[in-house]
Structure 1
């Protein structure tokens, strides 16, 4: 009788790598609720890739969209695309199947892509805030101070610094950053981050840049309010000039919403991380609030679709395959009043 019970128990226990004595136990979440969750998150991942591809193709293809601000939006969309194309699918599979089959190198690369996309997103948002600040506070000199070539240089520099930070984080400074890939058994991919590093990371890569962003946008909205009062009191000629400022103000408000959504998605993660001494990617806190962060990559292109006429127009051209027409890159996407 006892032998039969033990035999049945052995049948129910599955391992990630049955031939390896150090293999982790395999946990497959196959209930109806988990299947529904898998479907929903898969749809989110597909939509994130699709919408950000629309943004990337739009700005890359149509010459009218080759502006400094749009290049920063392009950088943000590429970072969001990495989340939808690489980070989300990996996290979905880890929710369904606890085993990691791709080895330690792939585990490190996966987390590096995650860290890179997060760092670049924040870097792009800082550059966007600086760009909008200059556009609103000094509109007459904006075109000479901020050019496509300068913004391209800053974007390249930002991506390079973020990549350098991530590589250093995972490979060179494990003893300093107190972070490492841990494996209690073979077939596991878990990143452990100690409490001290969580605080350092929060101060250097969240509180400081986000404070800069919030301060700049506060100045922008104050300047926009003063401009709105001035526009109402000037002549028709000045009003025509004021309409250009109005478009800058509208862009600042739209991108301000992007900042607000970003903070709303990220603040719960950092606040909750302060309550634990050791933070791992296998924890419930990391999973729940981590997915809230990933959702930010899906929301950004939706904000563009709602508030930017050029995105709706360019998406229509792309989906109807009109971008394959001769000289389609020179189509007019911007209404006269925008």
Structure 2
């Protein structure tokens, strides 16, 4: 009888790679709660891809949207799209199936890709803050100082620098080298990030850049209040000029919301990470607050949909397939100032 019981128990034990004696035990989380979690997170991933794709198509297709500010939004949307397309599915797979089937190199590279996308997003937010600062503080010279070609160059530089930083951390500075990968058995991908590196990342890629962003936006809103008072006190001609400034101010407020949502998603992750000696990708801290960071990529397009009339108008053209009409790229999406 005991032999029968033991035999039935052994049948339930599965391995990630059955032909490898050093393979990890496979744990497939298939309970009702896990199935619901899989469905919810899969929907989040699909919505992230779909919404950011709408932003990318809108700005790329309609010539009226080819402005420096929208190019920066496009850069942010590309990073968010890649998070929904590559990062989220990998994280969902790790939540449902405990095995890692792609090898140790892919384990390191996946973390590099995630860090690169997050760094690129932060660089885009910094450029957005600088762009809005110049637009509000010096609107008369904005069109000459900030051009599409200059903005494109800065976007390329920001993505390149963020990639160089991640490569430096991976291969030179021993940030996420194989020594940081915990492999108790074959088929496991757990990366350990020491508290020291959490602090370095916190200072270099959170506190410092976010302080710059917050300072710039503080100056923007002070200037916006000053302009609003001036508009109420001047002649009709000046009021028309103030209406243009009002458009710039509203754009600054909308993008300010994007930045504050970004901070709200990242602050819990760093605070919780500092409370432990080292963070691993299998920990509850990394999983829960990591997903909060990823979901930020889904929220940005919703902010655009709520506050940007041009985005709502472009989505209508895309959904109804009117973008395939002749000269659809020249449709007017901005009939009046908003």
TM-score range (shorter-chain normalised) is over 0.9
How do 1:201-220 and structure 2 match up within 5 A? 201-220=201-220
How far, CA to CA, are the matches of 2:323 and 2:251 in structure 1?
A: 25
Report the alpha carbon displacement of residue 194 of structure 1 after superposing the two structures with TM: 0.4
Tell whether 2:275 aligns with 1:265. no
Q: Deviations over 1:73-109 (max 9, x none)?
A: 0000000001100000110111000101111222222
**1:136·1:223 contact (CA, 8 Å) conserved in 2?**
yes
Tell me the TM-score normalized by structure 1: 0.97
How far, CA to CA, are the matches of 1:9 and 1:235 in structure 2?
A: 86
How do 1:161-240 and structure 2 match up within 5 A? 161-174=161-174, 180-240=180-240
Unaligned runs of 5+ in 2: none
What's the counterpart of residue 246 of structure 2? 246
How far, CA to CA, are the matches of 1:125 and 1:179 in structure 2?
A: 33
What's the counterpart of residue 62 of structure 1? 62
- Which has the larger displacement, 8-17 or 289-298? 8-17
How far, CA to CA, are the matches of 1:313 and 1:108 in structure 2?
A: 42
What's the counterpart of residue 320 of structure 2? 320
What's the counterpart of residue 302 of structure 1? 302
Q: What is the RMSD of the two structures over their aligned residues, measured on CA atoms?
A: 1.4
What's the counterpart of residue 144 of structure 2? 144
Report the alpha carbon displacement of residue 179 of structure 1 after superposing the two structures with TM: 6.8
Unaligned runs of 5+ in 1: none
What's the counterpart of residue 14 of structure 1? 14
**1:75·1:155 contact (CA, 8 Å) conserved in 2?**
yes
How far, CA to CA, are the matches of 1:84 and 1:98 in structure 2?
A: 21
Tell me the TM-score normalized by structure 2: 0.97
How far, CA to CA, are the matches of 1:325 and 1:12 in structure 2?
A: 58
How far, CA to CA, are the matches of 2:168 and 2:279 in structure 1?
A: 19
SS at match of 2:334: coil
**1:179·1:193 contact (CA, 8 Å) conserved in 2?**
no
**2:125·2:259 contact (CA, 8 Å) conserved in 1?**
yes
Report the alpha carbon displacement of residue 118 of structure 1 after superposing the two structures with TM: 0.4
- Which has the larger displacement, 219-228 or 328-337? 328-337
**1:177·1:197 contact (CA, 8 Å) conserved in 2?**
no
SS at match of 1:192: strand
**1:26·1:99 contact (CA, 8 Å) conserved in 2?**
yes
SS at match of 1:174: coil
How far, CA to CA, are the matches of 1:186 and 1:150 in structure 2?
A: 48
SS at match of 1:279: strand
SS at match of 2:134: helix
**1:265·1:296 contact (CA, 8 Å) conserved in 2?**
yes
What's the counterpart of residue 311 of structure 1? 311
Q: Deviations over 1:7-30 (max 9, x none)?
A: 122112111011111111111111
